[in-house]
Structure formats: structure tokens, C-alpha cells
Amino acid sequence: MATCTPFAPTTTEPAAQLDVAGDLLALLRDAGTEPRADVQLEALTLAVAADLPVLLWGEPGIGKTAALTQLAAALDLPLTTVIASVHEPSDFSGLPIVGDDPAAQGVPMAPPDWAVRLVRAGRGLLFLDELSTAPPAVQAALLRLVLERRIGALQLPPGVRIVAAANPRSSAADGWELSPPLANRFVHLQWAHDHEVVVRGLGGTWPRATLPRLDPRRLPEAVDFARRAVCGLLSARPTLVHRLPTNETRRGGPWPSPRSWEMTLHLIAFATAAGSSREVLSLLVRGTVGDGPGLELLASLDRMDLPDPEDVLADPAGAVLPERGDLRQAVLDGVVAAVRARPDRSRWDAAWSLLVRALETGAPDLVVVPATTLASLRQEDWDVPDTIERLAGVVSLSRRADQAAARTTAAAAKTGRRNAR
């Protein structure tokens, strides 16, 4: 009777199975990219193009490291990842090396190997990961690297860009708050996952990171616009030049200082030259000087595009009024203020013509206050223009509505007092 012998795998079987596993892993890693509107990614690439250090804030596992890896590949930059928390301060300030005659030559500070590789390559993306887990001594050692691009006696080349990533202290592994000096050297971007991007990326297609296309013809205009925007705001709001937050957590984020305002100026210039959207610019500005000052700057940028009141008074028929209600209101108020500053019959008439155009092309309630103010500026020898009749109904209707609202409020208050008794 024949006996059945068990199957004995050959000695090459485990290696062959590992090769098959490797093939499967390669297929899983094989993913393509596609052009896709991604505000976060566009803001990141714009800051990288402007050669400003960027810090990505986000919860663990949302793809900060993957985004940086894909960015380096898309920009054809060698990626160097450094986990700040596992290094000593001397790894960033330089390792002291005793030479032949320290009394005569001193003790040079030798840079780490990864810095030498970056210098040899002449370009690259330096990724400082897990920054919020770096203790204060390491953060202090990083100050010169982030701002001056120096490690010991070594100067990193201009082709090296710096991007860092951090988790909020509440979700970081033994996390620390960022020190104010280090935080003020970064453009802070809040990194969040997009459901559609994640689903499509897991399906094999991720958004493609591309550097912004700067228009060479707009470079002088972009610089002039950025300087006028920042200088105009700080001239009107001098307390915003430097405002260190009192809260420890906010000190570890974006806040206004001369350094961060200079970074903001650069970002506005790059965004203008690239034709970036207002949403992208908002992320960058608020990530550099904070939400409050950033929103003030964005509001002032809107008003910079408004027409000059004197130009509008010179040609009210050809003036282009903004579609947005708040901007249109600002134009009308500016024109009335210009007439008040220099009252003249022709200017007064021109302002009325403009208000009629505003009434015909926009919300009627926007002309009520300017019309009322303009009417109060009339002098005795000025004839009332026919155009006022077209506005009288709107102003009268608005006043009746205000009076009705006041009567309703008074009646409700009276009823409330009666019920309280």
C-alpha cells in the first residue's frame, strides 16, 4: 500500500512569497495624480515658492507627511525628513569638533550629515516632522536653522525649502507648546482632510501639487500692491505692528510682528503675481499674522480696489460700482464724504446722479443713508435736481419702515411691562 508523503516546500518558497508580497505592495503604492482645485495645497505651494518656512498643523493621521512626500516628488526636490524631537540641540546648532590647535583656530561646529547632503545637492525640501514634540531646548536650537538657514558653520543653499508639521498639543505624543520666537518664524496652515480627496486618493488618484505660475508682467505691480496694502493698514492701525498674545497657546501660533508682516507682504506679492484666489490668500495671511489682523488686512485689500471718489464725481455716468453690497456702500459713502469735504454745486449734482445709478443697479436700501446725508449738504442757492425725485420715494419708504419698526419695538416693550405687573 502506497504511503502519502506530506508536501515539502522548497527552500526558495519563502523568498518567492516575499517577492510576490513585494509585487502586491508595489501595486498598492502605485497611484497617479490629477489637476484638482485644492486650496490647502495651493496655499502650501505658494508659500514654498515664496521661500517662507511653513508649518502644517493637523491631527495625527490626516496625511500631512504624505502631502509633503507628494509635494517633494511633484516639485522634483529631494526630501530630507528630520524628526526634531529625537535630536539633541547640538544636532541643529552644530557638533563641536576639536581641531589641531583650539587656542588658535577655535572649536568648529560640524553640521550633521543630512545638512551636508542638502548642501551637496544644492536644492531640496527639508521636512521637520513632529515639531510640537520637540522640547524647548531643541526649539531654541531650531531658531537659526528656520530663519537664517544655518547649521553650525554651514549655510544651506537658496534652493532648500523648509516645511514642518505638528500636532496640536492635546493630540501630540508628549507635546509642547511652540515657543513664540519659533512660532513667529513660520506660516501656519491648518491642515484638514477633504472627504472627496481622500476617497479619490485611496482609489489611486491624488491631487497634483504644482508651483504657482507667476506672470512676469505683473511682478512690479504685485510688489507695489503688497507694499501699499501692508503699509496702508499699519499706518492706520499702528498697534498691529507688534502684538504678542497673552495666551500661551496663541503665542505658539501666528501673531503680528515686523517679521511676520514682512512675510505677509511677500505672500501678497506672490499671490497677486500668480492670480491666486482670495480663499488661498486668506489662509496664508491669517496663518502669518493671525485671524484678527489678517481679516483686517483682507478687508482693506477689498477697499484698495475701489474707485477714487474724485474720479467717480468727475464721471458719474461711467463709474463702475462694485456688485458686493458692502463695497458699493463704501463707494457711495466715500463720494458723499468727498462732497462734504469740498462742497460745490457741480459735485453735489454729480453725486446725485451716482446715487440714481446705484438705485437702478443695486439694492435700494444702500442709497438711503448717502442720500439723506447728501440732501443735508444743500446750500440755499442750489436748485434741487430732478434726480432727487427718483430717490425721494426710497428714502421716504425707508423712513416709514424705520418708524414702523420703532413703533413695534415700543409696543412690545409696553406689553412686556404690562405682563410683568
Q: Looking at the domain assignment, is residue 17 inside a domain?
A: no
pLDDT of 86: 85
Write the CB contacts of 219 (distance below 8 Å, at least 6 apart in sequence). Answer: 273
CB–CB of 32/205 below 8 Å?
A: yes
Distance CA 388, CA 352 (A): 7
Could you list the beta-strand ranges (E) of 15-153. Answer: 32-34, 54-57, 79-83, 95-96, 109-110, 123-129, 150-151
CB–CB of 74/53 below 8 Å?
A: no
Q: Looking at the domain assignment, is residue 158 inside a domain?
A: yes
- Which of 63-67, 221-225, 348-352 is the most confident on average? 221-225
Q: Any idea what the CATH number is for the domain that residue 201 is in? A: 3.40.50.300
Q: Looking at the domain assignment, is residue 284 inside a domain?
A: yes
**Once rounded to an integer, what is the mean pLDDT over residues 316-335?**
85
Q: Are residues 267 and 386 in the same domain?
A: no
Q: Looking at the domain assignment, is residue 163 inside a domain?
A: yes
Q: Looking at the domain assignment, is residue 9 inside a domain?
A: no
User: Which helix (H) or strand (E) element contains residue 95?
Assistant: strand 95-96
The residue with cell 508536501 is: 7
Q: Are residues 369 and 403 in the same domain?
A: yes
Q: Which amino acid is located at 151 in the chain?
A: I
Which residues sit opposite 159 in a β-bridge? Answer: 123
Q: Are residues 120 and 252 in the same domain?
A: no
**Once rounded to an integer, what is the mean pLDDT over residues 110-125?**
90
pLDDT of 60: 83
The residue with cell 569638533 is: 97
Which of residues 304, 339, 364 is at a domain's end?
304
| Residue 416 banded pLDDT, cuts 50, 70, 90 | low
Q: Are residues 167 and 275 in the same domain?
A: no
Domain ranges, residue 129: 36-96+107-207
pLDDT of 87: 85
pLDDT of 44: 94
Which triple of cell numbers denotes residue 405?
Answer: 419698526
Residue 98 burial (C-beta neighbours within 10 Å; 0-12, 13-18, 19+): exposed
| Residue 404 banded pLDDT, cuts 50, 70, 90 | very low
Q: Say which DSSP state 99 is in.
A: -
| Residue 172 banded pLDDT, cuts 50, 70, 90 | low
Q: Are residues 155 and 48 in the same domain?
A: yes
Q: What is the number of structural domains in the chain?
A: 3
Write the CB contacts of 241 (distance below 8 Å, at least 6 apart in sequence). Answer: 234, 256, 257, 258, 261
Is pLDDT above 80 for 217? yes
pLDDT tens profile 43-100: 999 999 999 999 999 888 888 888 888 888 888 899 999 998 888 888 887 777 766 6
Which triple of cell numbers denotes residue 319?
Answer: 463709474
Q: What are phi and psi of 33, to 5 degrees?
A: -130, 160
Q: Are residues 49 and 132 in the same domain?
A: yes
**Once rounded to an integer, what is the mean pLDDT over residues 152-159?**
88
Q: Are residues 320 and 243 in the same domain?
A: no
**Once rounded to an integer, what is the mean pLDDT over residues 114-135?**
91
**Once rounded to an integer, what is the mean pLDDT over residues 395-415?**
50
Which of residues 157, 175, 207 is at a domain's end?
207
Distance CA 96, CA 94 (A): 6
Is pLDDT above 80 for 241? yes
Q: Are residues 50 and 193 in the same domain?
A: yes
Reported pTM:
0.74
- Decide: helix, strand or coil at residue 370: helix
Q: What are phi and psi of 12, to 5 degrees?
A: -90, -5
Among left, alpha and beta (phi > 0; psi -120 to 50; other), residue 361 is alpha
Residue with more model confidence, 41 or 35: 41
